[in-house]
Amino acid sequence: MRKQIAAANWKMNLTFQQGEKLLDDILGANIDLADHQLVIFAVPSPYLLMTRSEVEEEKNYYTSAQNCYNKKSGAYTGEISAEMLHSINVPYCVIGHSERREYFNESNAVLAEKLNLCLENYITPIFCCGEPLSIREANTQNEFVAQQLKESLFHLSPEKIKDIVIAYEPIWAIGTGKTATTEQAQEMHAYLRSVLAAQYGQSISDQISILYGGSVKANNAKEIFGSPDVDGGLVGGASLVAADFIEIIKALKA
Ligand SMILES: O=C[C@H](O)COP(=O)(O)O
């Protein structure tokens, strides 16, 4: 079975102490993950080392950065490189979240550079894609999301593409309490898989985990994750509450 992943994205929330307590509470639930189940915490940069040390003894729990810069190194005050993340053994990095695309003008081309740097540094990118409401209303979401994949991912070799995780996050569902329906999520995930299959072949496409993001909650995760092409979720708000995120982890396909 493909990897089934519950990824928490804390965004710019929680103090260090609150983050530490949240991790303690979640790990304290002692959820035994199966080999194909992963839990990933995408935390603010100052919390990466703390998170790494909290999870390092735990089977299949991992740390992720929320972003990295699209240059290797140099005079870029305030930025963090993929090489720096690798040097502190961070194994995942979220790339192209819609908030980065919107507030920091990250283009598909810039995201392609970030993906390359992550892969060169042995970091698995969690590549986010997804359409705004206007595109959904015009019913052109498939073309829109396929273009994001094409411009950011399709330069990668078949060996490299297998090393990434994709997160489909319809922007109109992020932080709004409005989720895509199970049918809408499954339909888009199956479409993304078909786009990957057309480019790389079915057997490679079948190995790539595609997460759903956008108002995943404790009470809807099981249904959303149950769809055949949905391999878990990238969770914002509900990942900040231990009891809720614990339920979301338990909702991963067994
Ligand atoms: O990265 C997570 C997504 O932006 C979803 O956020 P949300 O669960 O608060 O809607």
Supply the pLDDT for residue 174: 84
Q: Is 131 close to ligand 1, i.e. is its CB under 6 Å away?
A: no
Supply the pLDDT for residue 179: 81
Paired residues of 234 in beta bridges:
7, 213
Question: What is the residue whose two structure tokens read 């003008």?
Answer: 105
- Residue list, annotated binding site for substrate: 9-11, 175, 215, 236-237
Mean pLDDT of 137-152: 96
Q: Is 175 close to ligand 1, i.e. is its CB under 6 Å away?
A: yes
* Helix axes 16-28 and 242-250, enclosed angle (nearest 10): 40
Identify the burial level of 4 via C-beta atoms within 10 angstroms of its C-beta, where 0-12 means exposed, 13-18 middle and 19 or more buried: buried
Paired residues of 40 in beta bridges:
7, 62
Band (pLDDT 50/70/90 cuts) for residue 233 is very high
CA of 89 to the centre of ligand 1 (A): 25
Are 151 and 112 in contact by the 8 Å Cβ rule? The answer is yes
pTM over 0.90: yes
Q: Per-domain residue ranges for the chain?
A: 4-250
Band (pLDDT 50/70/90 cuts) for residue 38 is very high
Q: Is the pLDDT confidence value at 227 over 80?
A: yes
Q: Is the pLDDT confidence value at 213 over 90?
A: yes
DSSP classification of residue 90? -
Q: Is the pLDDT confidence value at 180 over 90?
A: no
Backbone φ, ψ for residue 5 (5° rounding): -130, 130
SS3 241: coil
Q: Could you tell which of 95, 98, 99, 169 is best to mutate to test the pocket of ligand 1, judged by most ligand atoms within 8 Å of the CB?
A: 169
Question: What is the residue whose two structure tokens read 């995201």?
Answer: 111
**Residue numbers annotated as active site:** 97, 169
Q: Which atom of ligand 1 is nearest to the CA of 99?
A: 4
**4-250 fold:** TIM Barrel (3.20.20)
Q: Is 170 close to ligand 1, i.e. is its CB under 6 Å away?
A: no
CA of 161 to the centre of ligand 1 (A): 24
Task: Please provide the average confidence, as pLDDT, over all residues in the chain.
Answer: 96
SS3 141: helix
DSSP classification of residue 171? G
- Atom 7 of ligand 1: nearest residue by CA position: 236
Backbone φ, ψ for residue 167 (5° rounding): -120, 120
Backbone φ, ψ for residue 205 (5° rounding): -55, -40
Count the neighbouring beta carbons within 10 Å of the beta carbon of residue 178.
Answer: 12
Mean pLDDT of 39-47: 98
Alpha-carbon span 91 to 89, nearest angstrom: 6
Candidate from 128-137, 170-179, 208-217 with smallest mean pLDDT = 170-179
* DSSP strands (E only) in the chain: 4-9, 37-42, 61-65, 92-95, 124-129, 165-168, 210-213, 232-235
- Atom 6 of ligand 1: nearest residue by CA position: 236
Q: Is the pLDDT confidence value at 177 over 80?
A: no
Supply the pLDDT for residue 126: 98
CA of 224 to the centre of ligand 1 (A): 14
Are 202 and 162 in contact by the 8 Å Cβ rule? The answer is no
Nearest CA-CA partner of 31 in 8, 60, 63: 60
DSSP for 9-22, please give it.
Answer: E--S---HHHHHHH
- Per-residue pLDDT tens digits for 44-93: 999 999 999 999 999 999 999 999 999 999 999 999 999 999 999 999 99
CA of 122 to the centre of ligand 1 (A): 25
